Chains A and B, each alone.
Chain A
Amino acid sequence: EVQLVESGGGLVQPGGSLRLSCAASGFTFTDYRMNWVRQAPGKGLEWVSHMTSSSNTYYADSVKGRFTISRDNAKNSLYLQMNSLSAEDTAVYYCAKELTVGYHYFDYWGQGTLVTVSS
């Protein structure tokens, strides 16, 4: 059974940093590209970042230069380092697995971790 479990969310002050983690199991992690998707309270979905198994990365313009996606294939884990946080980054952050190579759709999602940026 595929499982994605996010952790690391919490309350952070504006300008602060946070590192999210996603532990993956139930599939061959190295075979799949992984993503972060976020959802602000009461709002829609926003794709944040994507990483291939060979470490190619993509970012939404709203986070480029502030967020860094990474993965540890040996630990079946995905990470999101978030710096220079602002209130606009307040959201539930989901880790999401891609359907298959080249199909940038998300067939499995974690339960999400809430990041709140506030003073």
Chain B
Amino acid sequence: EIVLTQSPATLSLSPGERATLSCRASQSVNNYLAWYQQKPGQAPRLLMYDASNRATGIPARFSGSGSGTDFTLTISSLEPEDFAVYYCQQRSNWPLTFGGGTKVEIK
């Protein structure tokens, strides 16, 4: 099973700041990695897929990069609605796995 490790666990930032979230895989997943955003009481929302492709309707302030084992989700300038928990997920191997999440909170 591919283990995805996200860091940091919590990121405390102010609106307008840049957020950089990391996801590291226990073995190469090529570029087969997605990012999701989840707000309290809501289902997750797909943000990025195959590392760097924005899903439909996702603002350009979200970007993704990486390949192999190291991936990054960047939010260029945090909006109030971006404070949430973010998860990465790999589709390279069965079972599909998620990272443990990074909470982006208001500083």
Contact = CB atoms under 8 A, between A and B. Distances in A.
Nearest to A35: B96
B97 interface: yes
Contacts of A103: 49-50, 91
A111 interface: yes
Interface of A: 35, 44-47, 50, 58-61, 94, 99, 103-107, 109-112
Interface string B91-102: 100111111110
Given A44-B87, A44-B99, A107-B55, 11 more contacts: A45-B36, A45-B87, A45-B89, A45-B98, A47-B89, A50-B96, A61-B95, A103-B50, A104-B96, A110-B43, A111-B43
Interface in B3-36: 34, 36
Contacts of B84: none
A46 B99 CA distance: 9
Contact of A44 (B1, B50, B55, B98): B98
A24 B25 CA distance: 33
Interface of B: 1, 34, 36, 38, 43-46, 49-50, 55-56, 87, 89, 91, 94-101
Secondary structure type dominating chain B contacts: loop
A98 to B, nearest CB: 9
Contact of A47 (B50, B98, B101): B98
Contact of B95 (A45, A58, A94, A111): A58
Nearest to A99: B49
Given A44-B87, A104-B91, A105-B34, A94 B98 contact: no
A107 B37 CA distance: 12
